[in-house]
């Protein structure tokens, strides 16, 4: 079995595992409680006075919107088959990203918005690390392949990178900058309305 076929098999296995985890997450009571809390907050936001709603923090909003958009664009083009990230991205990652985007857009408390960005970056980094680790483990099945050869293979694999890959890398860097960038704007009037309801 070629390295490409083995990699595709690993991707299929990862997709099945993600599907199972997503199903289990949807069944968990904690997820249902979080979903209920988000629904209550959304309802409070919808009943807030329109003058209290201001759109702000456009840099972070742009980087998060670009990250969401990148998952729907093809990330790899292998043998004419184009694969978008949303085929393997878990649903909870979308939930965290959308919450972070709304939090920045409407000016929730800085601790909440930046904390959500930090969680998003940490979980995304860990997911990428796991994928690279799986590639290293897969190559060990073919005998003693040293790390330099694997890294060279990954670098050569970048030839197959498509527009989604570059968009995702750009949005990830912009999100890191948004996490440490000073000048966050909080909409205190809206936040007071959300907390008081």
Question: For the chain, what is the domain count?
Answer: 1
Domain annotation covers residue 120: yes
Q: What is the pTM of this model?
A: 0.63
- Residue 11, pLDDT score: 62
Q: What is the dihedral of CA 190, 106, 176, 7, to 10 degrees?
A: 130
Domain annotation covers residue 144: yes
- 58/33: higher pLDDT: 58
Q: For residue 132, what is the DSSP state?
A: H
Domain annotation covers residue 21: no
Angle between helices 110-140 and 147-157 (to 10 degrees): 120
Residue 126 to residue 67: CA distance in whole angstroms: 16
Domain annotation covers residue 22: no
Structure tokens at 67: 């990250």
* 161-193 pLDDT tens trace: 788 888 889 999 999 998 888 888 887 776 666
Structure tokens at 72: 């729907």
Domain annotation covers residue 49: no
Domain annotation covers residue 41: no
Task: Indicate if the pLDDT at residue 112 is higher than 70.
Answer: yes
Residue 184 to residue 13: CA distance in whole angstroms: 41
Q: Which domain holds residue 144?
A: 3-16+55-196
């Amino acid at each position: 079995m070629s390295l490409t076929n083995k990699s595709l098999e690993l991707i299929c296995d990862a997709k099945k595992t993600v599907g199972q985890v997503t199903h289990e997450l949807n069944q968990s009571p904690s997820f249902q409680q979080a979903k209920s809390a988000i629904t209550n907050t959304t309802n409070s936001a919808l009943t807030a006075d329109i003058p209290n709603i201001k759109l702000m923090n456009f840099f972070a909003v742009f980087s998060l919107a670009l990250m969401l958009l990148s998952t729907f664009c093809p990330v790899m083009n292998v043998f004419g088959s184009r694969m978008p990230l949303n085929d393997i991205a878990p649903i909870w990652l979308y939930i965290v990203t959308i919450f972070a985007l709304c939090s920045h857009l409407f000016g929730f408390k800085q601790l909440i918005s930046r904390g959500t960005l930090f969680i998003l970056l940490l979980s995304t980094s860990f997911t990428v690390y796991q994928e690279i680790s799986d590639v290293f483990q897969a190559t060990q099945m073919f005998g003693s392949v040293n790390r330099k050869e694997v890294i060279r293979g990954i670098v050569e694999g970048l030839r197959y990178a498509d527009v989604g890959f570059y968009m995702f890398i750009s949005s990830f860097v912009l999100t890191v900058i948004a996490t440490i960038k000073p000048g966050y704007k909080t909409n205190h009037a809206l936040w007071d309305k959300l907390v008081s309801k």
